[in-house]
Amino acid sequence: MKNAALSAINQAGAINSDQMLQLIQGSLKKAEDGTVKVLDGGIEQDISVYLAKLKNPGSSYEHHFKPSAQAGMGAKPNTSTASAAGIANPYLDATSNLTQRMMLENTDPDLAAVLKREAGK
**CB–CB of 53/108 below 8 Å?**
yes
Q: Taking the domains of the chain in order of start, what are their residue ranges? A: 1-64, 78-121
Can you give the pLDDT at residue 68?
62
User: What is the spatial distance between Cα 8 and Cα 47, in angstroms, rounded to a whole number?
Assistant: 7
Longest dimension (CA), the chain: 44
How confident is the model over 42-88, as pLDDT tens digits?
Answer: 888 888 888 888 888 778 888 888 876 555 555 555 555 555 455 67
User: What is the spatial distance between Cα 19 and Cα 14, in angstroms, rounded to a whole number?
Assistant: 9
Can you give the pLDDT at residue 82?
56
Rounded to the nearest integer, the mean pLDDT of the chain is: 80
Can you give the pLDDT at residue 107?
80
**CB–CB of 47/114 below 8 Å?**
no
Answer whether 0.85 is exceeded by the pTM.
no
The closest alpha carbon to 82, from 56, 48, 105, belongs to 48
Chain-centroid distance of CA 50 in Å reads 4
Q: Provide the pLDDT confidence category of residue 90 given band limits of 50, 70 and 90.
A: confident
Can you give the pLDDT at residue 55?
85
Can you give the pLDDT at residue 83?
54
